[in-house]
Amino acid sequence: MILASKSPRRKEILENAGFKLEIIVSDDDEKSDKIDIRSKILEIAKNKVQSIALKYPNRYVLGADTVVILDEMIIGKPYDEPDAIKTLEKLSGRKHTVLTGFSFINVSKNIDVSDYEMTQVFFRYIDDRIIKWYVSTGEPMDKAGSYGIQGKGSILIDRIDGDFFNVMGFPIAKFIKKLEKIGIKIDDIDKL
C-alpha cells in the first residue's frame, strides 16, 4: 500500500497493524475552500491521495490529515517555538478536538473511501515553566496542536474521550472497519 503521508506516527500506527508501506508524498497544496471543518479536512486528505492514485491506478493509496480544533478554529503545526508556546497556552486547562480525515483509493478496483474520526482531549492546566520545557524538547514542532500524546506531551493531558490513535495521528480501528465494509479482510492487509 502507498501511504501518501510523511508522518512518522501515521507510518508507525499502520505498520504496527500489519500494513507494508511505500511512502510517496504528493506535492498537492494542502488547502480547501470548504467552510465546514470536517469537509475541509476530508478534502485535504483526498487531495493528498488522488494525484498519487492516478499515477499508480493498480495500487491502494491512503492519505490523511490531522488537525486540532479549539473554539471552531483549526490549529495546525506550529511555525516556530513562540507559536508552539502560544498554542500550548491556549490549550492549557481546556478541552479541544482532534480531527483526522482519511482517504483510501484504488482506481482500478473503483475503491474510493473517505471518513473521519473526532476525539476530545482535555488538557490539564500547564504553567509557563512546563510549556517552555516541553517546547525546548523539540517534540511539538511537527505536530498539529503543538503536542504529541505518545511522547513527552502525555504529561499535558488530563484525559481523552475517544480514540487514542486518532490523537496520535491515525484512527486505525475506524480504518480497519471501513476496509472490512468493502470486503477487505484483516488477513489481507499485508498484501494491499
Give catalytic residues, as residue numbers: 65
Question: For residues 102 and 148, what is the distance between their CA atoms, to the nearest angstrom?
Answer: 19
CB atoms within 10 A of CB 180: 11
What are the grid coordinates assigned to 80, written together?
516556530
**Distance from the first to the final alpha carbon of the chain:** 5
| Cα radius of gyration rounded to whole Å, the chain | 17
Q: Which of 141, 146, 143, 91 is nearest to 120 (CA)?
A: 91
DSSP state of 62: E
